[in-house]
Copies of this chain bind each other. A is one copy, B any other.
Amino acid sequence: MRAEVIAIGTELTSGQSLDTNSRWISAELAGLGLTTAFHTTLGDVLDDHVAAFQTAAARAGFVITSGGLGPTQDDLVREALALAAAVPLIESAECLEAIQALFVRRSRPMPERNRVQALIPEGAEPLPNRTGTAPGIWMKLGSSTIACLPGVPSEMKIMFHEQVVPRLRALGLASGTTFIRKINLFGKGESEIEAQALDLTARGREPEVGITASEATISFRIAARGETPAEAEKAAGETARIILDRFGDLVIGEGDVDVPQSVLVALQSRNKTIATAESCTGGLMSAMLTSIPGSSRSFLGGVVSYSNEAKTAFLGVPRDLIAQHGAVSPEVAAAMAQGAREHFGVDIAVSTTGIAGPDGGSETKPVGLVYLGLADASGVKTRKLELGPDSPRDVIQRRAAKQALNWARLIVSGEPG
């Protein structure tokens, strides 16, 4: 059986707003074993609604709409559905009570125009909406089943899970369940990682494994189907095990965990502290770390030494060293890291100095050349990155910051926890 997802609103067809509901609904339906064959987007025109509902009901066994259930004259789903099914609209006492109760909870009088939201086609079942005024609608249309949800994403998603999924299961239209696990890696390119995972990403493999890349973080997305949630979770776990074993310390975490959080986790489990000294990354490393709640337990601070004077004044980088090697050099990266470690009194300090571009590059020091420094109890090390010369400034800055933090993660993780 195939499904059709319909999004409603002139703001969508006109290009003013981007429809993200249809993608979300389709992905959820896929998780329930339902294939979406069509998305349709309609403006606020009654005849178009009626025709589109009839077309959808003829070609899809399940139709789901979002939008068009509000209280204004632009909201035409109720009326169109009644016309498409050739039944009258009736006022649902249950819906009216729910809408009135919502206004009571919000301590506001119910405007008379909201009463229209209690109308549903005769024979339809209202779908309760506990976070908004628009009830949904569930009904048969020809031989198809149609579910109508409001367009506000937060309301739509709650109603999908609470109202639509149980009804699909009860009708036997949805089968099984899907468990998702996302494992994040950092430190190698997407194609290199993909080449080591061809057995996992092969078409038709169960569980299905996809690879995505975002700012040099590579994620494996495991989608495991099963008759029960426990069965699906177990299947996902088996594939996850293979990935964790195969990719070892490239793995930085699961779900939303990216490099900055992985460093903090490594530091906190060992009671270690960190500080940063940034030139070309301009504060990105510290902003990434401090974006995470609780970072103050491990992160003591940083210096953004954009000028040479600041490198000397705040980090004690000798003026001569800068004059001799240039600000973008392994020597200065090392001195910055050492200075930060001493001045902040931390266990580990990381530094960046480089050319973020688009200007400032030269033959010997092109845009994208970045030196990292890392100082810990064992001394100071440096690394050279070549991230340009064609990459945009923000990409060079973000890559350099993540590489430096990831280096700190690897060093800290190598020590006993």
Which residues of A come within 8 Å of B, CB atoms?
7, 12-20, 22-30, 35-43, 45, 48, 51-52, 55, 59, 210, 276, 278, 281-287, 289-291, 293-296, 299-307, 309-310, 313-314, 343-345, 356-359, 393-394, 397
What are 5 A-B interface contacts by the 8 Å CB criterion?
A13-B37, A17-B23, A281-B287, A313-B343, A314-B314
Is the pair A40, B39 in contact by a Cβ cutoff of 8 Å?
Answer: yes
A7 to B12, CA, bound (A): 14
Complex contacts, A301 vs chain B, CB 8 Å:
303-307, 310, 314
Is the pair B25, A39 in contact by a Cβ cutoff of 8 Å?
Answer: no
Is the pair B36, A15 in contact by a Cβ cutoff of 8 Å?
Answer: yes
Distance (whole angstroms) from the CB of A82 to the closest CB of chain B: 22
A287 CB contact (under 8 Å) in B39, B43, B55, B282: B282
Closest residue on chain B to residue A42 by CB atoms: B38
Closest residue on chain B to residue A40 by CB atoms: B40
Is the pair A283, B304 in contact by a Cβ cutoff of 8 Å?
Answer: yes
Complex contacts, A45 vs chain B, CB 8 Å:
37
Closest residue on chain B to residue A284 by CB atoms: B287
Distance (whole angstroms) from the CB of A67 to the closest CB of chain B: 13
Q: How many copies does the complex hold?
A: 2
Known: A15-B26, A301-B303. 8 other contacts (CB 8 A): A14-B35, A15-B23, A17-B23, A18-B23, A282-B289, A287-B287, A291-B393, A314-B343
A301 to B295, CA, bound (A): 22
A14 CB contact (under 8 Å) in B13, B36, B345, B359: B36
Complex contacts, A282 vs chain B, CB 8 Å:
286-287, 289-291, 295, 299
Is the pair A300, B309 in contact by a Cβ cutoff of 8 Å?
Answer: yes
Is the pair B18, A20 in contact by a Cβ cutoff of 8 Å?
Answer: yes
Is the pair B16, A27 in contact by a Cβ cutoff of 8 Å?
Answer: yes
Complex contacts, A313 vs chain B, CB 8 Å:
343-344
Complex contacts, A48 vs chain B, CB 8 Å:
37-38
Q: A38 with B55: in contact, given A276-B304, A304-B304, A393-B293 (CB under 8 Å)?
A: no
Is the pair B15, A25 in contact by a Cβ cutoff of 8 Å?
Answer: yes
Complex contacts, A286 vs chain B, CB 8 Å:
282-283, 287, 304, 306
Is the pair B357, A293 in contact by a Cβ cutoff of 8 Å?
Answer: yes
A39 to B6, CA, bound (A): 10
Closest residue on chain B to residue A311 by CB atoms: B301
Q: A26 with B14: in contact, given A287-B287, A301-B303, A304-B283 (CB under 8 Å)?
A: yes
Complex contacts, A357 vs chain B, CB 8 Å:
293
Q: Which of A17, A27, A28, A302 has the most CB of B within 10 A?
A: A302
